[in-house]
Amino acid sequence: MTGGEIRPSRLRWWWLAGALAVLVAAGLASILLGAADLDARSVGAAFLDRLPFVSVDSGLDERQAAILWQLRLPRVVLGGIVGAALAVSGGAYQGSFRNPLADPYLLGVAAGAGLGATVAIGYESALPAMGFELLPLFAFVGGVVGVVATYVLGSSVRAGRTPVTLILAGVAVAAFLTAVQTYLLQRNAETLREVYGWILGRLSTVGWSDVRLSLPYVLISSIVILAGARLLDVLSVGDDEAATLGVRPPRVRLVLVVAATLGTAAAVAVAGLIGFVGIIVPHTIRIVFGPSYRIVLPLSLIFGAAFLIVADLLARTIAAPAEIPIGVVTAFFGAPFFAVVLRSSRGLGS
Amino acid sequence: MTRSIRALVAVIVMVAASCGPARSADDATTIAPPTTAETTTIAPIGNDGFPVTIDAPHGPVTIEARPERIISLSPTSTEVLFAVGAGDQVVAVDDQSNYPASAPVSDLTGFEPNLEAIAAYEADLVVLMYDPGDVIAGLSAIGIPVIEHPAAATLADAYRQIEEIGVATGHQEEAGELVVAMRDAIEDVVAGADVAGTTYYHEISPELYSLTSVTFAGALYDMFGLENIADAADADGWGYPQLSAEHILAEDPGIIFLADVRCCGQDAAAVSSRPGWDTLQAVQSGAIAELDDDIASRWGPRVVDFVETIAAAVAGSP
């Protein structure tokens, strides 16, 4: 990446303000719309009523209040958390591997997390009781195994290393992990439904407990990644040049990849496999605002949250009162976009 | 990515389809009398009625002699075989066939049937519910007759399958008696139930997949006059929508039927502790029926048990 274009490398405050405005708009629309018909004024009143020293009669009955506070709001919040985590992690992977196509899906992270989840669901009864849910832990370990295997395999190629090499390695690792997962599913057919329900994305049944479970990890991961944005910009000039500038590329890469995997796995553990957010969002921002990671990463965080909130809004309203799996919605928009990215990846990557 | 999503959806469909696919709303709601003559022709030549010929969608299937080495790759068909008295003739059943306990469970799978493994049993009749590719053609080519009994859409379908298995195995009389007994029992139970516009929600998985009135199970609820809250969510008539949790709360069903007890560890306590569900009248009044996943997803003789469970839940609901 030579970064030949003359573009600002600093985040402008009005970009940030605009991004936050988009996020707030997405959140508001998402809170007001849903399968259950809640009157917008009542919803507004219900929020006012929650403010200290304000008492307003919202007119919502007990069940409508439960729909708003226990179903819709946690889902919007979690959608934001998951979207932010996936997008900023995707950006961090792309910077760390200096590969514009790096994405939790293509790096084997998602396949590894899926395998971990399958093991956790299928063998829960055979494993010692730990007093906490095993699925998030197993999904994380699986994700780490996936990305490490991909990186080792991708960097073991001696001649002709290109951005494609890493992706090919990721495809091979993902295929292998998916094969293991399919085998385990065949052996434990009774868990099939539960596992596939999880894989298709399960934002539809989340609650505040999922927010509490994922938020700490996503926060840590995002802070580390955002703090590393400047280092990623330095890395983009090449490892040797970065070393002369006092940066130790292997260490930076390790920290950022671990942070990105932590964020991805936390998101995957509560929301299932949701594809393409990690590639669509950072690339769109690169195209619109410029390639500097000091721009791409913070804006990915915000637009990623907004994107997934809107995608989930579509997933739960297009066919209401039925749901469409969110993975289908993001892939529906993601697959065509990915084709465009591939077509122009020379301009982005080299 | 889209391909893998599509594959996943296909699997969900397949798993859901084992609970009975939707065909047509009209014939799902009527209990037609068994129509043996329509699909099964019997040529009573030779001893004990054999050979017999069965008209199958893939062409006429001729069974030369009373089969003694039957393989069932369908849990429902396994239950039927044993209920009509052909249990002694069964040499192997697939890994999902868990009823009755005496069924000879094997490693065979109904999802991806393996021709060589089936042939190794020297089977003389194979009953399956699903042909993923060329299984029927392959088995027919090596001279093994195959009966395909896909998920029934109606009770009439289920009765027809039972009678066909009776004919194919030399237990026509028992099969006929079984069908009559089932029909009488179901009619009695339904006649004794009193439902006044009660709504219900039938849960297939914790992701809130449900089924509508056009499905086999849905038609059973329909016989009681229960109203299905999932019907509104199934615009294309597929029969297995994933419901929005908001919809379930807003509709406030009178009875909740759980068919994901064994598979996914759901029960009344788990449902009650879901966010917001404590506001539902079914949760507050305890009108949550924990079904046997298997009974609720099969269309064999134990349909009667399912109908009785529905009746008990209806009677217990306020």
Confidence (pLDDT) at B46: 44
Predicted confidence (pLDDT) at residue B231 exceeds the cutoff of 90: yes
- The single-letter DSSP state of residue B112 is S
Q: Determine, for residues B243 and A322 on separate chains, whether the beta-carbon distance falls below 8 Å.
A: yes
Q: Determine, for residues B209 and A34 on separate chains, whether the beta-carbon distance falls below 8 Å.
A: no
Q: What percent of chain A has pLDDT over 90?
A: 30
pLDDT per position as a tens digit, B245-287: 999 999 999 999 999 888 778 899 999 999 999 999 999 999 9
Of B11, B204, B249, the CB nearest to A63: B249
Q: Where are the domains of chain A?
A: 13-349
Residue B83 main-chain phi, psi, to 5 deg = -70, -30
Q: Determine, for residues A322 and B233 on separate chains, whether the beta-carbon distance falls below 8 Å.
A: yes
Cis peptide before B100 (omega within 30 of 0): yes
* Dihedral sign, Cα of residue B184, residue B185, residue B188, residue B190: negative
pLDDT per position as a tens digit, A26-78: 999 999 998 888 888 888 888 888 888 888 887 888 889 999 999 999 999 99
Kindly list the distances between the CA atom of residue B178 and the CA atoms of A60, A304, B19, B162, B175, in Å, as whole numbers in the listed order. 53, 60, 22, 8, 5
Predicted confidence (pLDDT) at residue A335 exceeds the cutoff of 80: no
Is the ipTM above a cut-off of 0.90? no
Predicted confidence (pLDDT) at residue A313 exceeds the cutoff of 50: yes
Q: Determine, for residues B207 and A62 on separate chains, whether the beta-carbon distance falls below 8 Å.
A: no
Residue among B200, B158, B290, B215 nearest B16 (CA) = B215
**What are the residue ranges of helices labelled H in chain B?**
2-17, 25-28, 36-39, 75-83, 115-120, 135-141, 155-169, 172-191, 216-223, 245-251, 261-264, 268-272, 281-285, 293-297, 303-316
Confidence (pLDDT) at A128: 62
Q: Determine, for residues B9 and A194 on separate chains, whether the beta-carbon distance falls below 8 Å.
A: no
Predicted confidence (pLDDT) at residue A212 exceeds the cutoff of 60: yes
Q: Determine, for residues A194 and B205 on separate chains, whether the beta-carbon distance falls below 8 Å.
A: yes
Rg (chain B; Cα; Å): 20
Q: Which chain A residue shows the shortest CA-CA distance from B11? A: A196
Alpha carbon distance B250, B271 (integer Å): 16
Strands B40-41, B52-56: pairing is antiparallel
A163: confidence class by pLDDT, cuts 50, 70, 90: low
> For residues B154 and B217, is the Cβ–Cβ distance under 8 A?
no
Strands B255-258, B288-290: pairing is parallel
- Write out chain A residues lying below 8 Å of B208, CB-based: 204-205, 323
Phi-psi domain of B25 (left: phi exceeds 0; alpha: psi -120 through 50; beta: other): alpha
Please give the CATH number for the structural domain made up of A13-349. 1.10.3470.10
Q: What angle do CA B2, B5, B8 make, to 5 degrees?
A: 155
**What are the residue ranges of helices labelled H in A102-236?**
109-122, 134-155, 163-187, 192-199, 208-227, 229-235
Q: Which residues of B touch A (CB under 8 A)?
A: 1-2, 5, 8-9, 11-12, 15, 95-96, 109, 111-112, 204-209, 232-235, 241-247, 249-250, 252, 260, 262-264, 274-276, 278-280
Confidence (pLDDT) at B102: 93
Q: Determine, for residues A331 and B280 on separate chains, whether the beta-carbon distance falls below 8 Å.
A: no
B6: confidence class by pLDDT, cuts 50, 70, 90: very low
Predicted confidence (pLDDT) at residue A25 exceeds the cutoff of 50: yes
- The two three-digit tokens of residue A348, written as one number: 């982005």
- The two three-digit tokens of residue B193, written as one number: 């139930």
Domains of chain B: 32-188 (3.40.50.1980), 193-316 (3.40.50.1980)
Predicted confidence (pLDDT) at residue A347 exceeds the cutoff of 60: no
